[in-house]
Chains A and B, each alone.
Chain A
Amino acid sequence: MEMIKIINLHKSYGDLEVIKGIDLDIKSGEVVCIIGPSGSGKSTVLRCVNRLETPTSGRIIVDGKDIMDPDTDINHVRTEAGMVFQQFNLFPHMTVLDNVTLGPVKVRKMPRSDADKLGLALLEKVGLADKARNYPEQLSGGQKQRVAIARALSLKPKVILFDEPTSALDPELVGEVLEVMRQLASEGMTMVVVTHEMGFARDVADRVIFIDDGVVQEDSNPGDFFSNPKNPRLRDFLGKVA
């Protein structure tokens, strides 16, 4: 069962072609890690999936809905495909709980009390129930990112897109975020994770994808990906980061 199907995706910014024909199928329950050098187009692919960026050409099907079809309600698609950003992007003027309940209340029209119950349960899940009444600026980076994950979960999405969720964190705070992501993976959540955390990709991913120069250079299981990489660019890349 396909959760995300990307067919011949191209994306240009002006004259600069960033994505040069990508095909990708992500099945329900799969955890797919995307790695690649900075500027290779990883974020762009992810952001095309929930149409934060508009593809130049190609098709993207999310949970059976063609996101480029004018009849598709993109706001609904976005509730099915949550997103976690490198810079967290929490809403600084709202409490942690309100960050998590905004979607349920305004998008799902959930009654306040139900939304609060849901929000607290999600904060509990990421280990931050005691911070519900705090403001984001009172949290550490790792805590902020865990709130962002709770916010992404608040609409009960079918897939979550993570764009370098630990890259903005101090090294000692990376673990707590990866731990939450591991738990989500073990619960069967479909996840697409752009990351430089090779350990996480090796342990948690069902598939690892190497994107360079706007195309998929390698797409295999973590064992082959790390121990027996076929693509010369990937070998070069792994040599540099290892």
Chain B
Amino acid sequence: MSDVILQIDNLAKSFGGVRATDNVCIDVKRNETHAIIGPNGAGKTTLISQLSGGLKPDSGRIIFNGQNITKLPVQKRCHLGLARSFQITSLVMSMSVLDNVALAVQAQDGHSFKFWKPARTLERLRAPAMEILRDAHLDDKADTIVSALSHGERRQIEIAVALATKPELLLLDEPMAGMGPSESVSMVETLKALNGKKSILLVEHDMDAVFALANRISVLVYGRIIATGTPQEIRENQDVRHAYLGDM
């Protein structure tokens, strides 16, 4: 198996006159945490959406595990092992935490054209879901309706749901957005535990978190990658300091 899990090849996407993704090329290596940083409006979310399949690129290719997935719909990409979290929390709000995770487990357990047995009593769905919640220290919230949770807890559950689809590559769009300091710390712990076990493409504004987690960093400015390198290299890169990190 190649050591590159995701190859983004000359991807481009414009909204009217705005070049939100401008010939982006990134290789994400297997089991690395690759961070994408950049100022507001740089095109980070737009890039993630093209990778997960929600947005169609204008040109370029996305190669995942050697397969060209550029034209596949969201749900097919998910079954190949690509999972995303959303910058703005996106969960099934009217259902319980356990339901949300169990639905992700169920999605990996064959088709769901099963009309008779009550799904909420199926051990083969509930047990793995509970296991994931326990790993994330969320098991005490299992029966809480998502809409009753705090913002930080919902962010944690986004990750748990993404993990429940058994992905090879996680696309995380600002998992720490809007979190308090202690919540951020626990999120960093969660993601650190995945380092080396899962490939992660991490979009994040919180620089402490990025430098704590990333094996490599790409810097996106006005839709273009201006630098890719180790955290050390990025910290020392003059262009990056100038364009983005200058105020650090």
A binds B: no
Q: Point out residues on B near A: beta carbons under 8 Å.
A: none
Interface residues of A (CB under 8 A from B): none
